[in-house]
Amino acid sequence: MLELTNFYINGKWVSPVQSNSLVVTSPADEAEVARISLGSSSDVDLAVEAARRAFNIFSQSTLDERIGLLQKLLEIYLERYEEMAQAISLEMGAPIEFSRSNQAACGSGHLRSAIDALKGYSFNQPMKSGHIYREPIGVCGLITPWNWPINQIACKVAPALATGCTVVLKASELAPLSSHLFAEMIDQAGYPAGVFNLVDGLGQEVGAAISSHSDIDMVSFTGSTQAGIAVSKAASETVKRICLELGGKSPNIILDHANFKKAVEGGVDSCFRNTGQSCNAPTRMLVPIARYEEAIEIAKNYASSLTVGSPKSSETDIGPLVSETHFERVQSYMDIALNEGARLVFGGPGKPKGFEKGNYTKPTLFADVSNDMRIVKEEVFGPVLCIQSFGSVDQVIEMANDSPFGLAAYISGAKDEIMPIAHQLRAGMIALNGDSQGFDCPFGGYKQSGNGREWGEFGFEDYLEIKTIAG
């Protein structure tokens, strides 16, 4: 079992102010894999103090210095890439091949994107009556989730460091292996003491202390909408900048002229990827009423071809859910769907046969659902897909937009018919015909899916203040 009980503060691994440990278990077999410390507001105070001192110097660093440090960090990340892939697979149950090809790839992808953006980014521009300067906002409190652990760490830390800010990071206590490994890489890259700080802990303690801290200038949070509201309330007293990346319930519109079988199968695959634990997963499939039963059959056949199994196996498509608590949450939504009258097409409540140990769940398809059902309205965050039918383009646009969320949307069909629909959807990211955006495009959504944008040069903006000098 790994002993990860120290925090990284002011360039050193230090003991917490008070001893309070938590054992981290594997979601696959319930084995104890690590022990971490749960920090307190006192630990946050020490980290913020270090970050504040470091900001006075690091904020004045040159562009070349920050590019050089990021390049060194990327070099180290690539050298230790397999370690990161294994850590993520162990801590949150991602199948190892998926962890290598997708999860760990996000870390290097965001570092490369930040380097490329920084090389061409303009931190000042002349205006008619003055000059605009973009300056680092200050000490940044970053609170990240467990579902894409290094993705959310890298897409927040990279722009913060690129723009000259300093950081206090609280990663999820459910997935601490990747954040500790990343802190080791930061240290190895030679970042000045205090520029990056890591404090483990619970959201209601360390997260709340970060959100409300008077010496933290901005908070970037990724997680549930409910938790994002709590962060906003805690941060409001100090009038700091708050950037939120929250939940989703993304529609996947498949039109009659799409490559229908490919689009349906791709939609199922995208929904179930990462065991459905993605905020932008296409969890609502909308198909023409004339092809409704055809879509259900295609989806069922494809779902039956997927392998639920150990994250260690290269044959596994779907691993376990992250925790027993989350497993019970996903199970409860299946029960709710059945009670509300949804038709179970595939999967359903209970664990797959042969998986009595671990947080494994059946990939599940529901049909005959409506927008007023909780299974359609609320974010399940598991491998659960709802299939609905529509009669017209106007109706499907109304159905797609009928959600408190607006993170992503997916459309398949002929180019001349999907573009007008894309412009009418109230979502921050639209994927056409199975395509996906790269790390240079902004990630974020409308409505209760959050505010601000991450990734690439667009991610810089949340970490910068704008100053006008006239005369």
User: Are the C-beta atoms of residues 240 and 216 closer than 8 Å to each other?
Assistant: yes
Secondary structure E strands in 127-246: 131-136, 139-143, 166-170, 196-198, 218-222, 241-245
Name the DSSP class of 203: I
- List the chain pLDDT tens, one digit each, 471 residues: 999 999 999 999 999 999 999 999 999 999 999 999 999 999 999 999 999 999 999 999 999 999 999 999 999 999 999 999 999 999 999 999 999 999 999 999 999 999 999 999 999 999 999 999 999 999 999 999 999 999 999 999 999 999 999 999 999 999 999 999 999 999 999 999 999 999 999 999 999 999 999 999 999 999 999 999 999 999 999 999 999 999 999 999 999 999 999 999 999 999 999 999 999 999 999 999 999 999 999 999 999 999 999 999 999 999 999 999 999 999 999 999 999 999 999 999 999 999 999 999 999 999 999 999 999 999 999 999 999 999 999 999 999 999 999 999 999 999 999 999 999 999 999 999 999 999 999 999 999 999 999 999 999 999 999 999 998
- DSSP states of 42-104 as a string? HHHHHHHHHHHHHHHHHTT--HHHHHHHHHHHHHHHHHTHHHHHHHHHHHH---HHHIIIIIH
What domains are there in the chain, each with its CATH number? 2-246+449-469 (3.40.605.10), 251-439 (3.40.309.10)
Q: What is residue 439's predicted lDDT score, i.e. its pLDDT?
A: 98
Strand order in the sheet with 464-469: 124-126, 131-136, 464-469
Q: pLDDT tens-digit profile of 393-437?
A: 999 999 999 999 999 999 999 999 999 999 999 999 999 999 999
Using CA atoms, how far apart are residues 159 and 220, in angstroms rounded to an integer? 12
Indicate which residue of 91, 173, 245, 379 is catalytic. Answer: 245
CB atoms within 10 A of CB 378: 16
Distance between CA atoms of residues 47 and 28, nearest Å: 33
- Determine whether 245 is an active site residue: yes
Q: Is 75 a catalytic residue?
A: no
CA angle 13, 203, 449 (to 5 degrees): 120
Residue listed under structure tokens 């020490």:
46
Q: How far apart are CA 354 and CA 127, in angstroms?
A: 67
Per this entry, what is the length of the chain? Answer: 471
Note the pLDDT of residue 444: 98
44-56 core/surface letters (b: 16 or more CB in 10 A; e: else): bebbbbbbbbbbe
Question: CA nearest 436: which of 403, 419, 460, 411?
Answer: 411
d(CA 384, CA 362): 9
Tokens of 358: 């671990």
Q: CA-to-CA distance for 140 and 166, rounded, in angstroms?
A: 6
| Radius of gyration of the chain, Cα coordinates, nearest whole angstrom | 22
C-alpha 344/C-alpha 127 separation (Å) is 61
Q: Where are the beta strands (DSSP E) in 338-407?
A: 343-346, 364-367, 384-390, 405-406
Shortest CA distance to 359 belongs to which of 279, 275, 269, 271? 275
User: Per the confidence metrics, is the pTM higher than 0.95?
Assistant: yes
In contact, 146 and 175? CB cutoff 8 Å:
yes
The active-site residue, picked from 165, 271, 279, 386, is 279
176-211 pLDDT, tens digit each: 999 999 999 999 999 999 999 999 999 999 999 999
Alpha-carbon separation of residue 367 from 185, 341, 386, 405 (angstroms) = 47, 10, 6, 21
For 207, the token pair is: 């997260």
Residue 391: CB atoms within 10 A of its CB come to: 10
How does strand 364-367 pair with strand 450-451? unpaired
Paired tokens of 2:
């790994």
